[in-house]
Structure 1
Amino acid sequence: MNFKIIWSDFSETQLDKIYEYYEKKVSLNVATKIVTGIIKESEKLINASFIGQEEELLKDREIQYRYLVFKNYKVIYSVDEQNEFIKIADVFDTRQNPPKMKRTK
């Protein structure tokens, strides 16, 4: 079953911040490659929605969150089987303190 991918406003903001950081600190080319890689990684979910592991730090939430990893980033998402979509909730830099993932969005 093919699901549609929806990016939350928060996750889009995180992508923008990642892009801006690498554009300023490294180069436009590196920024583009990283953000493109994150987006392409998430596209794997279209045909295999449950490929990612359950996110242990978010188990106490009502919604089940799963994640994929691309380089130093976790693409955190949930699956809505009834409405056939995947919502990307966050793109989290794994070099940060893990409890920061529980931030309110």
Structure 2
Amino acid sequence: MKLVYTDQSYESLDESLRFLLEEQGWSLEKILEFRNAMLDKADNLVTTYNHYQQEEYLEHLGKGHRRIIHGYFKIIYRLEGGLICVTDFFDTRQDPSKMKG
């Protein structure tokens, strides 16, 4: 399996990191550490992609989205052929209706 990130996932991650920096007052060092931990967790999907739960808020799309929980964040992904597609980094403190698949 090969891991790929959608443009939407990168935009969601950037938006979340900006929020943590500007609104939550995180230091740049803490932001970079958190970003690296999120990406490392996602990178591990290559060997653990079947270990995680279905994402119930995206079931209506019928694409088999799954989630990894990391702190207040969900890493949303789905399988497409031989690819693991990370589609979103979602801060769970938001309204779930904002989640994008």
Query: What is the TM-score when the length of structure 2 is the normalising length?
Result: 0.88
Partner-residue secondary structure (3-state), 2:48 = coil
The runs of at least 4 consecutive aligned structure 1 residues that moved more than 3 Å come to: none
Match of 1:98 in 2: 96
CA distance in structure 2 between the aligned counterparts of 1:20 and 1:100, rounded to whole angstroms: 17
Q: Return 92-101 or 66-75, whichever deviates more.
A: 92-101
Task: Name the structure, 1 or 2, with higher relative contact order (CA <8 Å, separation 6+).
Answer: 2
1:1-105 matches, within 5 Å, as 3-24=1-22, 25-80=25-80, 82=81, 84-101=82-99, 103=100
Distance 1:33 1:19 in 2: 11
Q: Secondary structure at 1:12's aligned position in 2?
A: helix
Give the paired residue count. Answer: 99
Q: One-letter code of the match for 2:7?
A: D
The CA deviation at 1:65 is 0.2
* 1:23, distance to aligned residue in structure 2 (A): 3.2
Which secondary structure does the structure 2 equivalent of 1:26 belong to?
A: coil
Q: Which has the higher helix share?
A: 2
CA RMSD of aligned residues (A): 1.5
Counterparts of 1:92 and 1:39, CA distance in 2: 13
Contact residue 22 and residue 31 of structure 1 kept, 8 A: yes
Q: How far is 1:50 from its partner?
A: 1.2
